[in-house]
Amino acid sequence: MTHSQFRALQDWVGQLQRILQWEAEHDFVNSRGHSGYFAEVVAQGLAEAPLTTLRNSDTCAELRDGFSAYSTWPLQQRRQWVVRTRQWLHHQRLHYQVQATAPSPDRSPPGAQPPLAQVEGIGPRLAAKLMGAGLRTVEDLLRHYPRDYIDYSRLLRIRALRPGETVTVVGTVRRSHAFVSSRNHNLAILELQLQDSTGRLRVTRFYAGRRFTSPRWLQRQRRLFPPGATVAASGLVKAGPYGPSLKDPLLEVLDSGAVTTTASSGRRILPVYPPTDGLSAESLRRAVQAVLPMADRQQDHLTEPWRQRFGVIPLAEAFTTIHQPPSEAARQAARHRLVFDEFLDLQLGLLRRRQRQRAQAMADLPMAPMAGTSDLVTAFLALLPFQLTSAQERVLQQVRKDLQVTAPMGRLVQGDVGSGKTVVAIIALLEVIAAGGQGALMAPTEVLAAQHYHKLCTWMVQLHVPVALLTGSTPERQRQAVLRDLETGAVKLVVGTHALLEEPVTFFRLGLVVIDEQHRFGVHQRSRLLNKGEAPHLLTMTATPIPRTLALSIHGDLEVSQIDELPPGRQPVTTTILTPGEREQAYGAIRTVASHGERAYVILPLVDESDKLKLRSAVQEHQRLARTVFPNLNVVLLHGRLTSGSKQDVLEAFVSGKAQVLVSTTVVEVGMDVPDATVMVIEHAERFGLAQLHQLRGRIGRGQAPSRCFLVSESQQAVARQRLEVLTRSRDGFEIAEMDLRFRGPGQVLGTRQSGLPDLALASLTSDGTVLEKARDAAKLLLKEDPQLRTVPQLRARLDAQNKRLASASRLN
Ligand code: ADP
Ligand code: MG
C-alpha cells in the first residue's frame, strides 16, 4: 500500500468516526445532518471505502446492511452497531498502517524468524494466504491461539445425544445440501447429515438475507462441506421426527476429506482455530504445526528470575502447549502464562502512563492550600442548603490530598445516582480556581452540559467566578469569544461536551479537568485530553459501577474513590411493574402528584415511528398524553432531535413547574436533576438494561416527597419479567449491575466501553480476574524494583511499541 493510499484510508476512517461519534453523543437517535439521516450517511460512507478489498469485505457488507435497518432498532442494538462499526474501522486503520510502514528490523531479528514462505511445510502459496489473513510472521502464527479444543477421548457419540443438551459432536458428512427456501426467497438453508460409528444426525443452519441466496454463496457452502469431510458441530440438541437434530449450530470443518489427514489422526486433543478468511481449517493447523518447532527460538521477555517470582512457565513451553496440549492441566498452565502476559502488558502500560503524567506535570500546577479550605470554597459551602454527607467529606479529603502535591491527580469517583458527585466536583474545581488555575467540566451530552452550566451560574455569580458554556452547537461568534476568554484566563470555569476536546482550545492555566458520567466517554477521549500537553489534575465521575476487572483494565492508572452513601432524607423510590393494560394506575399517580405541584417523567425508548417494533413514537405519545390523558396538564416533549434552543425551553418549563409532565427519550438518562419530579413511567422497560433503568429511576426520589417508578412492559417472557423484578427489590447499583451482567452477558453490558479496551487475544475480563490481580501486582513490583525496565529490555521494547500504537489510536478515536 502506498503512502497516499493510506492517507486516503485514514481520511475516510476519520470522517466516518466523527459521524459515528456524533451519533453516540446524541443518544443514537439517528440524527439528521446536512446530507441526510445518520444511518444513510454511514451506509453510503461504507460503500465508498477507498480500497476495493474493504468495499468487498463481508464485514463491510454486513455493517452496511445493518445501517439500513438501524432506524427500526431499539437503542441497545443501535449502540452496539455503532460500537462495532467504530471498532472495525479502527482495526482497518491499524491493519493498513502496519502494511504502509516498512517492516522494522527489530520486529524480526535475523535468524530468529525466517519468512513464513521459507518455513518447511508452509511454502510460498500457503504463506501468501496466511499473509492475506494477517498472519505474517512465525510469532503471528504462534500467537494465533486455538479457539477451542476437541478432546476425542471425551467426545460425545451421536447415539448418546439427549434433547436439551448443548454438545459438540464430530462426524463425517454423509450428505450435504445448500438451497434457497421455497417459501422464503431471502432464506438460505444448509442441511448436513453427519455420521459417526454410532449413528446419524441431521444438522440444519439457516441464513437470512439476500447475500446468502446468491448461487455463488450456495456453491461455496457445498464446497465447504463436501461429503467425506469431518465436521464438528456445537449446539443444542432437539428432538425431531427423524431422531435428534442440531439447529443452527456452530460448524467447523476439521478435515475436508479431500486430503488424507495426518495432523489430526492419532492425537487425542485437537485444536480448533478461529475461522479465517480464505484459509481452510486444515491449512491453518498445518501452518501452526510447521512453526511449533521454532517456538523456543522466540525470546522470552521475562527472565528466569522474574518467571520464578511470578510463577509462570517459559514462553516457548506455553506456545507449544497451547497448540498441542498433552493434558488439561498443561493447557491451563500454558494459558495462564499467556493471559498473564496480556494483562501484564496492559497494566505496565497503564502504570507507566501514570508515571509519565506525573513526570510531565504542569510547571506550576495549581495546588490546594495545605490546611483548611480556601475562602472561595468556604463561601460556596455557605451557599449550599445542606451539609455534606460523610461519604462526600471522605472523598473530598482524598481529592484534596491529591491536589496538595505537585503531581497531577488521576482519580475516579464512583457513586450511585443521586449520591451527590457534582458537589464534590465543584468543590475541587473551586479549590483549583482559588489557587489561580482554570477548571473544565465535561459532560457527555449537551443537555447535561447545559444543566450543569445553569446550576453553576446561580452559584458562580454569587462567588464572582466567571463561567462559560461550550458545546458543539454554541454559535460561532460566541464560541470565538469563549475561546478567547479561556486563553486570556478571563473565564475561570468552562462547562462543555466533547467540543472541549476539539482542536483549538487553549487555556491560560488549566488546572483541573472533571469528566462527568465518564462511562459515556471513550477512554481514548480521556487520553486525548491528557495528551493535550502538560497534564492537569483529572477527576472522573461515574454512576455506573463496573466489575473490578474492568475497572482495573480501563482505569488502572486512576485511583478510585467511592461515595457509598445517599444524602439523608432521600425517599426510597417504590418500583412497580405494569402491563400495558394497567397503565392507568401510573396515569392516576401522575394526576395526583401534579395537583401537589410535583412533576413526572414519561420515558420512551425511541424517537421515530417504527411500525415493525410497534413502538409508540415519542411524538405520537406526547400528543396522545397531552390531548386525551392529561388535557388539564402541560405536557412537554424532549428528544435528541430538538435543537439545543428548544431543548433548553423544554427543560426550563419542566424545572420551573410550568410543565408538569416531561415526555422524553433517554436523553434524561444522565444527570438530570429536578427534585420536584416524583413519578416516572418507563415504557417498554424490557428494552433497557437494568443499570440504565436504575440510572433513569435515579432522576426521581431526589426531593423530600416519596417517589414512584412504573415500569411498563409488554413482554410475556418470564426472563424479561425476572430481570425487571430485580429493580423492584434492589436499590443497590452494584448489585443491579452484577445482575445485569448475569442476565445479559458481558458483551452487551460492556457495549460502548469496550472501545476503550486493548485487544486481548486470550484473556477474559469476566473470568480471569485473579490472573489480572496477579499481573497488576507483578507490574507494580517490576516498576518498583526496576523503574526503567532494564532487566527486561524486550518487554520494554514491546511496551514502547504498544504505546506508540495507542497514541495514534487515541487521535483517531
Ligand atoms: P449524582 O451523584 O447523581 O451526580 P447530584 O450531584 O446530581 O448526584 O446530586 C443529586 C442531588 O442531591 C442534587 O440536587 C444535589 O444538590 C443534592 N445533594 C448533593 N449532596 C447533598 C447532601 N449532602 N445533602 C442533601 N442533598 C444533597
Ligand atoms: Mg451527576
**CA 478 – CA 476 distance, rounded (Å):** 5
Give the integer Cα–Cα distance in Å for 302 and 795: 7
- What's the pLDDT score for residue 746? 43
Q: Does residue 191 sit in the same domain as residue 243?
A: yes
pLDDT band at 752 (very low <50, low <70, confident <90, very high): very low
* Ligand 1 near 701 CB (within 6 A): no
733 alpha carbon, closest ligand: 1
Q: Is 247 in contact with 238 (CB distance < 8 Å)?
A: yes
At 594 the pLDDT is 95
Which range marks the domain in which residue 494 is found? Answer: 369-563
672 Rama class: left (phi>0) / alpha (psi -120 to 50) / beta: beta
* Cβ atoms of 57 and 48 closer than 8 Å: no
Q: How many residues does the chain have?
A: 813
Q: What is the pLDDT of residues 115-174, one digit of tens each?
A: 888 888 888 888 888 887 778 889 889 988 887 787 766 677 888 888 888 777 888 899
User: How far does the centroid of ligand 1 lie from the alpha carbon of residue 578, in Å?
Assistant: 29
Same domain, 522 and 593: no
Q: What is the pLDDT of residues 328-340, one digit of tens each?
A: 889 999 999 999 9
pLDDT tens, residue by residue, 237-279: 888 787 888 877 877 777 766 443 333 445 567 787 776 667 7
525 lies in a domain?
A: yes
Instruction: Confirm or reject: Cβ of 567 under 6 Å from ligand 1.
Output: yes
pLDDT in the model for residue 749: 42
CATH of the domain at 160: 2.40.50.140
CA distance linking residue 499 with residue 486, whole number of Å? 14
What are the grid coordinates assigned to 331, written together? 493447557
Q: What mean pLDDT is reported for the chain?
A: 81
All residues with CB under 5 Å from ion ligand 2: 671
Is the pLDDT reported for residue 447 higher than 90?
Answer: no
- Average pLDDT of the residues in 563-571: 82
Poorest-confidence range of 5-19, 119-133, 396-410, 793-807?
Answer: 793-807
Q: Tell me, yes or no, whether 542 and 607 share the same domain.
A: no
Among all bound ligands, the one having the nearest atom to the CA of 517 is 2
| 381 Cβ below 6 A of ligand 1 | no
Per-residue pLDDT reduced to its tens digit, 686-697: 888 787 788 888
Predicted local confidence at residue 660, as pLDDT:
96
CA–centroid distance, residue 522 to ligand 2 (Å): 18
Ligand nearest to the CA of residue 455, numbered in listed order: 1
In the chain, pLDDT over 90 holds for what percent of residues? 28
Question: What average pLDDT does this structure show over 672-676?
Answer: 82
Q: Taking 60 as the threshold, does the pLDDT of residue 104 lie above it? A: no
The alpha carbon of 383 and the centre of ligand 2 are apart by a number of angstroms equal to 19
Question: In this predicted structure, which of 184-193, 260-269, 401-410, 718-727 has the lowest mean pLDDT?
Answer: 260-269
Mean pLDDT value of segment 726-750: 67
Confidence class for position 438, pLDDT limits 50, 70, 90: very high
Looking at per-residue confidence, does 317 or 196 come out higher?
A: 317
Residue 423, ligand 1, Cβ within 6 A: yes
Q: Give the closest residue (by CA) to ligand 1 atom 26.
A: 567
Tell me: do 460 and 425 sit in the same domain: yes
Nearest residue CA, atom 9 of ligand 1? 420
Domain identity same for 511 and 592: no
Is 156 in the same domain as 268?
A: yes
Amino acid sitting at position 247: K
| List of long-range contacts for 335-342, beta carbons under 8 Å, 24+ apart | 335/762, 336/312, 336/771, 337/312, 337/313, 338/145, 338/761, 338/762, 339/762, 339/763, 339/768, 339/771, 340/310, 340/312, 340/771, 340/774, 340/775, 340/778, 341/302, 341/315, 342/760, 342/761, 342/762, 342/763
Q: How many domains does the chain have?
A: 4
Atom of ligand 1 nearest to the CA of 675: 14
- For residue 123 and ligand 1, the question of a CB distance below 6 A is answered with no
Q: In this structure, are 451 and 548 located in the same domain? A: yes
Instruction: Work out which ligand 1 atom sits closest to the CA atom of 425.
Output: 6
Average pLDDT over residues 212-235: 84
Are residues 578 and 557 part of one domain? no
C-beta 389 within 6 A of ligand 1: yes
pLDDT attached to residue 531: 54
Do both 428 and 470 map to the same domain?
yes
Does 220 score more than 70 pLDDT?
yes
Q: Under a CB-based contact definition with an 8 Å cutoff, are residues 580 and 712 in contact?
A: yes
Q: Looking at 219, 238, 272, which one is the last position of a domain?
A: 272
- How far does the centroid of ligand 2 lie from the alpha carbon of residue 229, in Å? 59
pLDDT at residue 263, rounded to an integer:
39
Q: Residue of the nearest CA to atom 25 in ligand 1?
A: 567
**pLDDT-based confidence at residue 493 (cuts at 50, 70, 90):** very high
pTM for this one?
A: 0.57
Residue 517 Cα to ligand 2 midpoint, Å, equals: 7
Does residue 813 have a pLDDT over 60? no
Range of weakest confidence among 63-67, 104-108, 183-187, 466-470: 104-108
Give 417 Cα–ligand 1 centroid separation in angstroms.
9
> Which ligand has the nearest atom to the CA of 396?
1
Considering only 85-89, 333-337, 366-370, 724-728, which range has the smallest mean pLDDT?
Answer: 366-370
Say if 67 falls within a structural domain: yes
Q: Is the CB of 543 under 6 A from ligand 1?
A: yes
| The predicted structure's pLDDT at residue 546 | 63
Residue 638 has pLDDT above 80, yes or no: yes
Domain presence at residue 668: yes
For residue 388, which atom of ligand 1 is closest to its CA?
23
Residue 812 has pLDDT above 50, yes or no: no
* Structural domain includes residue 230: yes
Among the residue ranges 44-48, 57-61, 95-99, the one predicted with the least confidence is 95-99
Instruction: Say how many Å lie between the CA of residue 439 and the centre of ligand 1.
Output: 20
For residue 703, report the distance from its CA to the centre of ligand 1, in Å.
10
Supply the CATH number for residue 666's domain: 3.40.50.300
Ligand 1 pocket check for 419: Cβ under 6 Å: yes
Q: Residue 112 pLDDT > 70, yes or no?
A: no
C-alpha cell of residue 539: 477527576
Which grid coordinates are listed for 805? 500504537
Helical (H) or strand (E) element with 653: helix 644-656
Say if 161 falls within a structural domain. yes
Tell me the CA–centroid distance for residue 443 and ligand 1, in Å: 16
pLDDT digit string (tens) for 599-616?
999 998 764 444 344 445
599 CA to middle of ligand 2, Å? 20
| pLDDT above 70 (res 626) | yes
Query: Residue 533: inside a domain, yes or no?
Result: yes
Atom 5, ligand 1: residue with shortest CA distance:
420
**Cα(668) to centroid(ligand 2), Å:** 11
Looking at 237, 252, 272, the residue that finishes a domain is: 272
Residue 716 is predicted with a pLDDT of: 74
Is the CB of 544 within 6 Å of ligand 1?
A: no
